[in-house]
């Protein structure tokens, strides 16, 4: 995604929670994904299967269709359960206080876990659900 597109998405308040119960306030950009978006992405992933008749001609032949099918299935499976996408996350670690941009972006798990770059503790991200889906 372009940086300018990213800037257009409003930041929402998020909470970073450390297992001991401490929490800190952070800012996050989250996209809510619609069922339509998930199905469209899944179909794109499955379109990779169309490469099989081509890659079969590349020596040593037999592994490539399996690799392509596995990649297509893996991507489709992940897109199918991508209800929310985390685009950015910025805030202080509740454990050590280091302010940072977290790098564990993309499909949001429930709960979504990130790791502090400074103290290496696992933190959980809580973002309130937005009203509209894109
Ligand atoms: Zn930390």
Residue 123 Cα, ligand 1 centroid: separation in angstroms? 9
Closest CA to 88 of 17, 26, 18: 26
The whole-model pTM stands at 0.82
| Sequence ranges of the domains in the chain | 1-33+83-134, 34-82
Express each pLDDT in 60-107 by its tens digit: 998 999 999 999 999 999 999 999 999 999 999 999 999 999 999 999
**And the tokens for 92?**
């202080």
Q: How confident is the model at residue 131 (pLDDT cuts 50, 70, 90)?
A: low
Q: What is the pLDDT of residue 38?
A: 97
**And the tokens for 60?**
């040593």
Question: What protein residues have CB closer than 5 angstroms to ion ligand 1?
Answer: 93, 95-96, 116, 118-119
């Amino acid at each position: 995604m372009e940086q300018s597109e990213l800037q257009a998405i409003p930041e929402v308040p998020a909470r970073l929670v450390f297992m001991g119960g401490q929490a800190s306030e952070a800012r996050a950009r989250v996209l809510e994904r619609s069922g339509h978006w998930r199905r469209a992405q899944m179909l794109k992933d499955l379109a990779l299967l169309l490469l099989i008749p081509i890659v079969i001609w590349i020596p040593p032949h037999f592994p490539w269709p399996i690799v392509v099918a596995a990649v297509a299935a893996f991507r489709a499976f992940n897109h199918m359960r991508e209800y929310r996408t985390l685009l950015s996350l910025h805030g202080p670690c509740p454990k050590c206080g280091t302010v940072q941009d977290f790098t564990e972006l993309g499909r949001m798990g429930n709960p979504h876990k990130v790791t502090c770059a400074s103290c290496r503790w696992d933190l959980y991200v809580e973002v309130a659900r937005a009203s509209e889906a894109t």
